[in-house]
A and B are shown apart, each in its own frame.
Chain A
Amino acid sequence: MNPIDLTLAQLSARLEAKELSSSEVTGACLDRIRATDQNLGAFLFVDETGAMAQAKAADERRAAGRSIGPLDGVPLALKDIFCTEGIPTTCGSKILEGFVPPYDSTHVRRLKDAGAVLLGKLNMDEFAMGSSNETSAYGPCRNPWDTTRTPGGSSGGSAAAVAARQCFGSLGTDTGGSIRQPAAFSGVTGIKPTYGRCSRYGVIAFASSLDQVGPFGRTAEDCALVLQAIAGKDPMDSTSLDAEVPDWAAGMKGASVKGMRLGVPKEYFVEGMDPDVEKAVREAMRLLEELGATLVPVELPHTEYGIATYYVVAPAECSSNLARFDGVRYGMSKREEGALREMYFRTRAEGFGPEVKRRIMIGTYALSSGYYDAFYLRAQKVRTLIKRDFDEAFRDVDAIVTPTTPDVAFELGERSEDPLRMYLADVFTLACNLAGLPGMSVPCGFSSGGLPIGLQILGKPLDEATLFRVGGAYQAATDWHTRAPRIG
């Protein structure tokens, strides 16, 4: 068996038993990247030398009996939105071409402290704005199941790399579905934890009240092992929550859904959704029922306002956050002619791609004098209504189960000229961010065309444990998550 086919948890056990070395598996991952990434475009930067040195150090620790824990020597990779000291970080944008951060994000530092081997930086939509990875200034990442299709976005590279067995897990970010949607499209597991579970320090900001970091893995257990290494209060981010980080991986061992009440919102089964998706998700729900859960109809009546709310709040916050890209301190700087003001206009015009400009424009409009109350303030009030829907539903259920997306992965180019149509496809993932809830996507089947389908599990604030238990119990009873795409 090729070691790249192991799950993270299995690899961890083999490393512990000294049946495999980190240098061996890191080499196997780098071979796999070399063999497949020409077709996939998952990586924007591969740190071969650094990864092999980290692997060697992990092997030496283990040989000396000083191994650190389950991630010691495990090859992982990072969405290119995380600042990495000494390693280029572009956020998928030309405006950050050549930028080398002087510090590590909190997550990178915590993964290094846990002994993980960091293989490199993964492709993404520019500044995480997109649902297809096509807005990347460095070319799209492709879906390992069908390279004419999108892996999803914005964390497309993070999902594709795990699906293609290039790494054993990865980090992404999720502002409106950017972990769960690519996880669903690429046939892997991904979780966006509760807002504030993970620090945002060193993560290039998109929409600060929505952005949250989370892992991708082949299984829910793999995600738990990575998330528990990066979660927890960080003095560098005042919005990170001071809540205990449980051992989720231990808590989900042998987990059962017996006696659980799982909410099914009728608003998440809409006209026009792919019948294959509906069938697979209904099937998954039936299986959860067989495993002992009770399915309970719940209502989330403000669901239909989610997209409009999100596409005010997120662009408004993005227009403010991206004001920092001005050509003064880092990144592109167009200053050949004219004064300071010309430098701002030229740098931003040449550095940002069309989707980023579009969102900056929407946000600037929504925040501009005379429109603030009608757009931003009103959207924040509707956000309260959306949040209340969930508070109400969670009085009666332990978690909510829905499809992650209304469709399977679409073809590259299919929606790039129609931004509104692209936004509308985020309908099932956005509300979770607006309400700050944890959400997970697990593979639950394939379309007749062989494309993966995801089941979304939404939980109460800080109750990731229930998501891991539901995901773990479902994966113990199914084998969708074990299927691998044929590539390279």
Chain B
Amino acid sequence: MTLTKEQVEKVAVLARLSLSDDEIERFRGQLSSILGYIEKLQALDVSGVQPTVHAVQVDSTPLRPDVVRDSLSPESALANAPARDGNLFLVPRIIE
């Protein structure tokens, strides 16, 4: 299996990664060989087999009582913010 440069670029955009030309070329080779190896899964007959999402069966999503509990203060939640404005995370402009 061989990926094209365009396929690698498309995946990089989906993954929100800007890659250099060198990286694209290196990943093209490496991803091709890894995906080529993974292709061996196609050889198995999996018709009628249920997918395993979690290895251990957990009873649906448990609900807890809807009660007020302590949580992080705004100050500690924002302590690592690269930029903030009062109690808000600040981001660069969204609409170009």
Contacts and interface: CB of A to CB of B under 8 A. Distances in A.
B86 interface: no
B96 to A, nearest CB: 5
23 contacts: A102-B79, A195-B54, A241-B56, A305-B41, A307-B37, A308-B41, A309-B41, A328-B91, A329-B80, A335-B92, A340-B93, A346-B18, A358-B27, A361-B8, A365-B31, A365-B35, A374-B42, A375-B41, A381-B46, A382-B46, A383-B52, A385-B49, A420-B30
Nearest to B55: A436
Interface in B42-96: 42, 44, 46, 49-56, 58, 61-62, 64, 72, 76-77, 79-83, 89, 91-96
Contact of A383 (B12, B51, B81): B51
Interface residues of A, number: 74
Given A308-B40, A346-B18, A361 B52 contact: no
Contacts of B61: 238
Q: Which of B16, B31, B61, B72 has the most CB of A within 10 A?
A: B16
Contacts of B19: 349, 357
A486 B76 CA distance: 44
Contact of B94 (A307, A333, A339, A364): A339
A248 interface: no
User: 3 tightest A-B contacts by CB?
Assistant: A436-B55, A380-B51, A333-B82
Interface of B: 7-8, 11-12, 14-19, 23, 27, 30-31, 33-35, 37-42, 44, 46, 49-56, 58, 61-62, 64, 72, 76-77, 79-83, 89, 91-96
A235 B1 CA distance: 45
B55 A333 contact: no
Given A209-B54, A238-B61, A434-B52, 17 more contacts: A194-B56, A196-B58, A209-B53, A308-B37, A328-B82, A328-B91, A335-B82, A340-B91, A345-B17, A349-B19, A375-B41, A378-B46, A382-B49, A384-B52, A387-B55, A420-B30, A420-B37
Contacts of B62: 238
Contacts of B37: 307-308, 311, 420, 423
B27 A361 contact: yes
Contacts of B39: 308
A328 B89 contact: yes
Contacts of A235: 64
B80 A100 contact: yes
